[in-house]
């Protein structure tokens, strides 16, 4: 079955050209996106993703392309037309089509909105979680507003490609202070030797992951000591556990950082407990 995409009010085959050449998403990466995991037909953490979408759009002064209720219908309809129950659903909204000029169009234009869905294999993700993943480190070369979920992802793309070429699953980005900010498409966490869960606070240097926010609530419910602060690469290398969080990986243990084992090189017990709590649908 051909994959079906939603493009500006129409559902059609994903390979049909449908976006204007002068779309500002294509010309300037002038847009935002969201990603949902859908499990057994349920959009996980739906309100959080919707709230972040609205925030990202507002930060860039792009209007919501339609009401939240209408958007909800379009998301579900895209899933239905692709006959998927377990999926990753992607939404992109750009400032729209206008004659090429860096500044915003003088007359407001209609934002472009695209929704796509593709099958997700939760069993493959689970198998990966059971062995854990390797990460490499790269300099964080991104802009200073990583809190906006912008489609401008070139540094993230290059970091992920470097990870792939090194046989790793993710790249952790290191800022000029030697701190791990986050992964190329995930948030970064460690558990210290004293058993304290640590992740960077959600400042402008990272994307405030919806999964991250849920893990913080789950940790509180499980009584896990937690500190929201930066951690250095050195601290990560001597941590008891490390993991990443994202909509697609949920909670994913990290067992190697730059070819050095994290603790005994096996997934940690807190990461595993948080992953199970996440999958059980608990919400702290």
Residues acting as catalytic residues: 149
Report the DSSP beta bridge partners of residue 136: 171
Total number of residues that touch ligand PDD (CB under 6 A): 15
- When the beta carbons of 91 and 97 are compared against ligand PDD, the nearer one is 91
Site for ligand PDD in 107-166 (CB under 6 A): 156
Q: Could you tell me the smallest distance in angstroms from the CB atom of residue 245 to ligand PDD?
A: 6
Q: Which helix (H) or strand (E) holds 50?
A: helix 46-60
Rounded to an integer, what distance in angstroms lies between the CA atom of residue 17 and that of residue 30? Answer: 19
Q: Could you tell me the smallest distance in angstroms from the CB atom of residue 227 to ligand PDD?
A: 19
Rounded to an integer, what distance in angstroms lies between the CA atom of residue 281 and that of residue 265? Answer: 28
Rounded to an integer, what distance in angstroms lies between the CA atom of residue 240 and that of residue 40? Answer: 34
- When the beta carbons of 23 and 170 are compared against ligand PDD, the nearer one is 170
Q: Could you tell me the smallest distance in angstroms from the CB atom of residue 63 to ligand PDD?
A: 22
Q: How many CB atoms lie within 10 A of CB 29?
A: 14
Rounded to an integer, what distance in angstroms lies between the CA atom of residue 76 and that of residue 6? Answer: 11
Of the residues 112, 199, 245, 272, which one makes contact with ligand PDD according to CB under 6 A: 245
Per-residue binding string, ligand PDD, 43-82, x by CB under 6 A, is ----------------------------------------
Asked whether the beta carbons of 33 and 91 are under 8 A apart, the reply is yes
Rounded to an integer, what distance in angstroms lies between the CA atom of residue 209 and that of residue 202? Answer: 8
Tokens standing for 195?
A: 């058993």
- When the beta carbons of 23 and 34 are compared against ligand PDD, the nearer one is 34
Per-residue binding string, ligand PDD, 175-214, x by CB under 6 A, is -------x--xxx-------------------x-xxxx--
Q: Could you tell me the smallest distance in angstroms from the CB atom of residue 58 to ligand PDD?
A: 17
Residue 27 contacts ligand PDD per CB under 6 A: no
Q: How many CB atoms lie within 10 A of CB 196?
A: 16
- When the beta carbons of 97 and 216 are compared against ligand PDD, the nearer one is 216
DSSP per-residue letters across 25-44: HHHH--EEEEEEEEETTEET
Of the residues 246, 251, 255, 271, which one makes contact with ligand PDD according to CB under 6 A: 246
Asked whether the beta carbons of 162 and 139 are under 8 A apart, the reply is no
Q: Which helix (H) or strand (E) holds 197?
A: strand 197-199
- When the beta carbons of 92 and 187 are compared against ligand PDD, the nearer one is 187
What's the number of CA atoms in the CB half-sphere (13 Å) around residue 34?
27
- When the beta carbons of 54 and 109 are compared against ligand PDD, the nearer one is 54
Candidates 3-11, 223-231, 242-250, 257-265; binding stretch for ligand PDD (CB under 6 A): 242-250
* Binding interface with ligand PDD (CB under 6 A): 35, 156, 182, 185-187, 207, 209-212, 245-248
């Amino acid at each position: 079955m051909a994959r079906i995409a939603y493009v500006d009010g129409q559902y059609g085959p994903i390979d049909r050209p449908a976006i204007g050449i002068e779309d500002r998403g294509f010309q300037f990466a002038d847009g935002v996106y969201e990603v949902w995991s859908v499990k057994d037909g349920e959009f996980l953490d739906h309100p959080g993703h919707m709230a972040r979408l609205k925030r990202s759009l507002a930060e860039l002064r792009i209007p919501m392309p339609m009401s939240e209720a209408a958007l909800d219908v379009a998301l579900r309809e895209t899933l239905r037309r692709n006959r998927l129950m377990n999926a990753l659903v992607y939404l992109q909204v750009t400032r729209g089509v206008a004659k090429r000029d860096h500044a915003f169009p003088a007359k407001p234009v209609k934002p472009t909105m695209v929704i796509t869905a593709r099958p997700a294999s939760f069993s493959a993700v689970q198998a990966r979680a059971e062995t854990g993943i390797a990460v490499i480190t790269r300099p964080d070369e991104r802009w200073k507003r990583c809190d906006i979920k912008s489609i401008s992802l070139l540094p993230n793309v290059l970091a992920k490609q470097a990870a792939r070429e090194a046989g790793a699953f993710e790249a952790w980005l290191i800022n000029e202070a030697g701190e791990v900010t986050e992964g190329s498409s995930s948030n970064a966490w460690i558990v210290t030797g004293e058993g304290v869960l640590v992740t960077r606070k959600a400042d402008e240097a990272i994307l405030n992951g919806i999964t991250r926010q849920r893990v913080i609530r789950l940790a509180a419910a499980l009584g896990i000591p937690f500190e929201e602060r930066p951690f250095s690469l050195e601290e990560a290398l001597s941590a008891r556990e490390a993991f990443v969080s994202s909509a697609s990986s949920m909670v994913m243990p990290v067992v190697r950082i730059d070819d050095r084992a994290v603790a005994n090189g096996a997934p940690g017990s807190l990461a595993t407990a948080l992953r199970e709590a996440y999958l059980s649908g608990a919400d702290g």
